[in-house]
Structure 1
């Protein structure tokens, strides 16, 4: 019934929204005739009439920016009211060629360009490199769900590098350009207010943004903010593992999630004369996620008797484990920049930037667990003919509130990583006719302190009785049944996660006061790391324009220094260790652009670049076991080397008359020392303290493999159908197709797929814009890939999925526009699997999303 209801609601919302758009078209028919008459009169008077709108103008800006660029790049430009139609930057970028997104709970988070691991794409904001510290520093990839799109005016995906761009970018570096108030004279107010709902669970969705800017010929300022919040349910089914008899457990989960993003930004600019400007900008953004977990595991492999197979089973004495938490995820960014630009009449240009950036990422997961035992265990049968949705039947009475209180405990998962950096950047150029010489420097001083997610401190909840606060895990079961779209066969009720968390916090406080709980043990010293990296870079570059040919070549020199401190645990003794490394590298690049005709542009580029290991992966902290044979070490790998690459890009771009483009691009990357996870001998004396030779101990962590290669072809088409008659010339199309291949070698295995690489990525948008109506239907699809988030070498893959979105805009007046954003209309089910889709390891669904509101612009 729930699935039928969801389908009905979704269909009704789509039909209603489309009817709204069509009504707008027909209701403006009379106005259209009047407009056409006015246009005829204007033509007779010799005036130029330009019919444009948010989609068309953004597409035009993107095409022009790509055309004049010296390197191979793709550009996403903001729409006419000063922001992107997407909620965050990742969603907007995903519409560009060869760009895919990694989603978390359905929300766009990481960007993958050309199917490569997300660590191979770097990010800068207004030209200043920014790194991420997500997941305990296990990735340097930048989180796009923390940056609201309203802050930005343009996003550029640089697929080939010039020497003035950071070299830490194997496949691309993305520059996010913030809004400049001095580009528009006068007072401008832009914003939106929206409200909607989530299909699964009917949770609310709301957003609002406001941007105020003013400028005259010499001074301008901008202030703005944004807010987005949604409450959603996530249905989740997982299988712990498969053995020779079939699934070992059915892990049934539902998450009640409340997520919200906030952004604040401001800037002032002063331009005393044309070509001279100084400015200051500040950005604060945050991503917050409060997550209530309701989870039950039918532990099939621990049954006392019965039969079990992949397709079905009949078992007795199956333990049921419950896991519950009210977890908190936080990500915050504080960015401040001051700078200046100078453009001289004598051809000399200069710019400088001073930047401070702080990124904080934290997680707190107090996970309460308990299991049934003895007579409380279950007799059950299951039907797994559709392995995505196993149906469990309880043979006999079932009491959800029968978990064992005596064995209940709380695991305290904590993670916090902070990156704090100071950056100085200087660029100068001298134009001398057809020759432009450029040079510049960059200095970054960054401190990183944190820990990977630590789940090592376990507190038995039965000890609460000793401090006058006994804990009964079963008392939190409510009488409200799960609101789920997944079949199960067993009715489960929600647990009061908020009440449980409140009592857990109170109990831990009492246990700490009584000396029964030590919060210092939540994060062992072996999980902590303290690092300081310094980058000193300089470049020299020349640009030559000779007729139809433009050549840009140069070399970038970077000295990278890393101080790496941590502690190693042997037995019960902690030993502090440090490793300091420094290396100077050269990164040449060459970009050739040949304008064969006014509309045909050919490009060829080559470069060398680098990708440095994540902070958590390279940490010194580790635990040593001297009693195993051979001994073992678990932790970071401070011996990791960066991944270095040589790359080649080529493209053919044909710019269609009017507003359109067709392009074909190819690329190849050859990568040395590809990162992967394994357990192999240390091969170093770094851990040889206390008179013990540990060079042959097995270290579990991240390693450098051998060579890898990644290559592909991108096809891109953008065109407004302005050749069609009458009302039909408002239609247009934007689409791209990317075909990819590649692999790398490990010492023990050849031709291993890159994590996160889909061999096919497709985007298609059909839009209509005329008579005040702006409508777009967008389709995205990517094929299966080896899951990056599942961990390197995990063998877990993700099934490809499609995504269908509809965006509708209707201009009531010049200043007010109604909008409707309908997302995930295919109601995708996201599937991870082991080996083949016949053995899924995770199945997840969040439902469609609907948001309606109004935009205003003055």
Structure 2
């Protein structure tokens, strides 16, 4: 339950909570955070008495940095925040890109934007929206890129859990916060208009957003209303030059390792996002406040990934093969053949994604007595996702010259003297008729009570609460997606409107352009394509074996005590709490054994978790804080992993091995993490700090897919499904520095700097018994951000670097790890305040045109070279 910025808490509790730092929190309406529940209680009362209003909005990089620093200093948890420079003004375009600046957070880009987010090297972070659980369809988390930055007040990244926080994130919790009308002194209007150009897509698209807010004193008390609207369009282009998985073959009397084919993946898309939010607040008197808050988003996204596969005649006696020798092994350098009939395939994978989500929250607080605050909140969340994903494969069968191999760290392939753009030379061979749909909905209620003693003793505050939540999730995909052509010999030119060309390839990787089925036609006229190669316009039904429905009901109770005392003359603030959560699962799916009938199956389970937490903060000086934070956290499996349905192979075998099987596992326990953080934080000025944190996470019941023997109805099967496996451990340290150099003379006084560094190590046991670091985890990462703000000018230059990491161990069973080279990005922006109300901003991202490069164990066996759009935007922001 989110607190409201009003109340009549005792002066003793104010002294404990404020510590002389509330002013900065008030500056941008930060008094509504779950993380600063104790701090805000007295702060808002003092502010209201002082000036008759709740908060005053301030702006600028310095104030944003100061506010974020104050939040970090006063939080019970290990926490980092990024705060808006001004209304609708964040340093990046979406939440995922914002998080790339946070200590210990790493992101990956793709499909035109930053998307995948890991905290301290691990995925699965819990996502909250204004302190509430938020998700996309049947996923556990919210697609963070779907939240427009024009609506954001700030983003909080918790590295540790508190008893009063919604459970669910072993790696961390990301809380996206939006504005409320009482966050402003009075009327507020802000409009943002931005044009964004992407170089590889060659497109310029609009992004517009607006916010209106006001508050009034009426006969029924103070009333506030806020509304926000955002529209974004983004047309993008990602390109990949890939090399096939390594094969071993003989050439020139030598054993050679290298790809037996290379190719392309050219991805383009057109994404449109429409989002709105609203908030209403009512304070009938100084003791009560009520609110209604809502958020909705709709995304329409058409995209294509055009695959090209070019085979190499590695075993042909007419091929010329050159090799590179390293450490006694021979690797393919180049191959050529004047007349080859190896596979040449073009595959247009079209996608039409549609999603819609909404959340409505109603709540309020009541200061029942000078020492007791009651609060409650009810939330309804609904999210729906649909995808159509037809894939049309065509092949080129005429003899052709071919050259290929490894070049500039990637795979290249070319076809001298051969025109691969003529659709009449291609033959359609198969349609993958894919579709899927997912739904999610939840009802959520919580109630909290806080008691603050009147006397200033050891006990500063007692709080507790209840939460009940019911979550429904469902998913299904198509039955038998592969549909080989029954009408053979059809070329794409026989279907008017189907023949297009692939996007052009950049870089020195050979083939520039080739025939590709038109993805828009494929999406809009799938039945026509079916008729042309299958003889029927009909699509496929849902596969009952893919279907699951899951109802998850959780009931939680928590208690928390805040203590304050001196130890050897050092003021100590301590918070001890425990959260007890009971989770019931009721899951339905379908099973089949061999060629037998499909049989419904239902499983119900129950699990109780006890989650203690302890946070101790030592205020060595007003500017020097040390803290020790310990807590237990859980992370529930993906809903699909609980699917009780299994598919069992025939018991008739010819090789003496048990038959195979696959399915979900309704008996999965939540992953557990016992987390310890120890930090020392020096706040040497209002906007200057130097902090360091050492951390260790011990994991239990880690969820992994593996194959093991199970006995089902008396028969042994080699089952592939998720299991709770071995323990895992993560440890490391973080360091962060921030300062504005106001002491420098003249224009130099506008300079500022932010820098952070993270080191991580540890790992887990793989199903084969080997111990590996976590997939996707870079051991080292850092950010360097240069800031400038003076007069009407402000600027930001941000450099992000992360070390190489292993994407996948034993990739595709080859015995080789898929390794990703270090990733570095450079983003920049510069703003000029034309008037007090109008600001112009020029920004750019991916300015280094960074390539993503991965390889099979050694750079001599590359897989992908990926290149993304360089983006330049120009924005005008008006507020009044």
User: Same fold by TM (over 0.5)?
Assistant: yes
Alignment of 1:240-279 (within 5 A): 240-245=244-249, 246-279=258-291
1:601 aligns with 2:629: no
- Does residue 823 (structure 1) correspond to residue 845 (structure 2)? The answer is yes
What CA distance in whole angstroms lies between the structure 2 residues aligned with 1:601 and 1:792? 48
Question: Structure 1: 5+ residue runs without aligned partners?
Answer: 1-49
Alignment of structure 1 residues 84-123 onto 2, 5 Å: 84-116=90-122, 118-119=123-124, 121-123=125-127
Is 1:662 paired with 2:690?
Answer: yes
1:700 aligns with 2:720: yes
Q: 2:586 corresponds to which residue?
A: 563
1:376-406 deviations in Å (ceiling 9; x for gaps): 143312242434141424366756435553x
Aligned to 2:875: 853
- Label 1:338 to 1:399 Cα distance change in 2 as closer, same or farther (>3 A): closer
* Rounded Cα–Cα distance in structure 1 between residues aligned with 2:151 and 2:759: 32
What is the DSSP-based 3-state SS (H/G/I as helix, E as strand, rest coil) of the residue aligned with 2:423? coil
Query: What is aligned with 2:526?
Result: 505
Who is 2:132 aligned against?
128
Q: Does 1:536 align with 2:555?
A: yes
- Take 2:845 and 2:160, find their aligned partners in 1: how far apart are those partners? 32
Contact 1:380/1:395 (<8 A) preserved: no
Alignment partner, residue 211 of structure 2: 211
Kindly indicate whether the alpha-carbon contact (under 8 Å) linking 1:764 and 1:778 is maintained by their aligned counterparts in 2. yes
Question: Are 1:336 and 2:363 matched, yes or no?
Answer: no
Query: What is the rounded CA distance, in whole Å, between the counterparts of 2:863 and 2:224 in structure 1?
Result: 54
Q: Which residue of 1 aligns with 2:325?
A: none
1:434-449 to structure 2, matched below 5 A, reads: 434-449=459-474
Which residue pairs with 1:15 in the alignment?
none
**Corresponding residue of 1:195:** 195
Counterpart mapping for 1:513-528 below 5 A: 516=536, 519-521=539-541, 523-528=542-547
**Is the 8 Å Cα contact of residues 299 and 320 (structure 1) preserved in structure 2?**
yes
CA separation of 1:345 and 1:768: change in aligned 2, threshold 3 A: farther
SS in 2 for 1:500: helix
Counterparts of 1:146 and 1:348, CA distance in 2: 38
Contact 1:380 1:392 in 2 (8 A): yes
Which whole-Å CA distance do the structure 1 matches of 2:88 and 2:304 have between them?
36
Matched residue, 1:813: 835
Residues 698, 236 of structure 1: alpha-carbon distance in 2 compared, 3 angstrom cutoff:
same
| Residue segments in structure 2 that go unaligned for 5+ positions in a row | 1-55, 250-257, 322-330
Q: CA deviation at 1:352?
A: 1.1
| Residue of structure 1 in register with 2:7 after alignment | none
Report what 2:70 is aligned to. 64
Cα RMSD after superposing both structures: 2.8
TM-aligned CA deviation for residue 509 of structure 1: 7.8
CA spacing shift, 1:184–1:793, aligned 2, 3 Å: farther
Is this contact kept in 1: 2:795–2:830, CA < 8 A? yes
Which residue is equivalent to 2:231?
227
- Give, in whole Å, the separation in 1 of the partners of 2:500 and 2:560: 69
SS where residue 311 of structure 1 aligns? strand
Tell me the residue number matched to 1:145.
145
2:390 to 361, 366, 369: 366
The Cα of 1:274 is off from its aligned counterpart by 2.9
SS of aligned partner of 1:437: strand
Aligned residue for 1:428?
449
Listed one character per residue, the Cα deviations across residues 9-35 of structure 1 (whole Å, up to 9, x for unaligned) are xxxxxxxxxxxxxxxxxxxxxxxxxxx
Question: Are the counterparts in 2 of residues 71 and 158 from structure 1 also a CA contact under 8 Å?
Answer: yes
- TM-score normalised by the chain length of structure 2: 0.84
How many angstroms apart in 1 are the aligned matches of 2:365 and 2:314? 69
Cα deviation for residue 51 of structure 1 reads 14
TM-score w.r.t. length of structure 1: 0.86
Structure-to-structure mapping, 1:395-434, within 5 angstroms = 400-401=422-423, 404-405=426-427, 408-432=429-453, 433=456, 434=459
Q: Work out the CA distance in 1 between the residues paired with 2:361 and 2:520.
A: 43
Per the alignment, in what secondary structure is the counterpart of residue 73 of structure 2?
Answer: helix
CA offset at residue 768 of structure 1? 0.5
The CA distance in 2 between the partners of 1:317 and 1:609, in whole Å, is 57
| 1:382 to 2:394 alignment | no
Shift of 1:347: 1.7
The answer (yes or no) to whether the contact 1:364–1:413 under 8 Å persists in 2 is yes
CA–CA separation in structure 2 for the residues paired with 1:645 and 1:285: 33
- Give the counterpart of 1:801 among 818, 823, 829: 823
What pairs up with 1:533-682 in 2 under 5 angstroms?
Answer: 533-547=552-566, 548-570=571-593, 571-626=595-650, 627-628=652-653, 629-681=657-709
In structure 2, do the counterparts of structure 1 residues 528 and 780 end up closer, same or farther at CA, with 3 Å as the change threshold?
A: same
In 1, the alpha carbon distance for the partners of 2:529 and 2:419 equals 35
Partners of 1:151 and 1:784 lie apart in 2 by 34
Which residue of 274, 296, 309 corresponds with 2:308? Answer: 296
User: What is the SS of the residue equivalent to 1:573?
Assistant: coil
Q: Which residue of 1 aligns with 2:801?
A: 781
Structure-2 residue corresponding to 1:841: 863
CA deviation after TM superposition for structure 1 residue 560, in Å: 0.6
Q: In 2, distance between residues paired with 1:188 and 1:529?
A: 47
1:623 Cα offset (Å):
2.2
SS at the partner of 1:630? coil
Q: 3-state DSSP class of the match of 1:171?
A: coil
- Whether the 8 Å contact between 1:461 and 1:471 is mirrored in structure 2 is no
Within-5 A mapping of 1:73-88: 73-88=79-94
CA distance in 2 between counterparts of 1:277 and 1:421 reads 25
CA distance in 2, matches of 1:357, 1:187: 30
The alpha-carbon deviation at position 851 of structure 1 amounts to: 0.3
Q: Does structure 2 conserve the Cα–Cα contact (< 8 Å) formed by 1:527 and 1:622? A: no
Secondary structure of 1:526 counterpart: coil
Contact 1:383–1:392 (Cα < 8 Å) also in 2: no
Larger deviation, residues 819-828 vs 789-798: 789-798
Q: What does residue 7 of structure 1 align with? A: none
Could you say what secondary structure the match of 1:641 adopts? coil
Given the superposition, is the C-alpha separation of residues 620 and 793 from structure 1 closer, same or farther in structure 2, using an over 3 Å criterion? farther
Hey, what's the Cα distance between the residues in 2 that align with 1:220 and 1:52?
19
Match of 2:292 in 1: 280
Deviation at residue 799 of structure 1 after TM alignment? 2.3
Task: Report deviation, 1:836.
Answer: 2.5
Q: Deviations over 1:650-680 (max 9, x none)?
A: 1101001242111000110110122222222
Distance 1:764 1:491, change over 3 A: closer
* Structure 2 Cα separation of the partners of residues 123 and 67 of structure 1: 22
Q: 3-state DSSP class of the match of 2:621?
A: coil
Question: How many residues of Structure 1 are paired with residues of Structure 2 in the alignment?
Answer: 786
SS at structure 2 position matched to 1:85: coil
Shift of 1:319: 1.8
User: SS where residue 414 of structure 1 aligns?
Assistant: strand
Residues 350, 796 of structure 1: alpha-carbon distance in 2 compared, 3 angstrom cutoff: farther
Alpha-carbon deviations, 1:296-348, whole Å to 9, x = none? 21122687664466211134221211101431123332111111123455121
User: 1:746 offset after TM fit, Å?
Assistant: 3.3
Q: For 1:819, what is the secondary structure of its paired residue?
A: strand
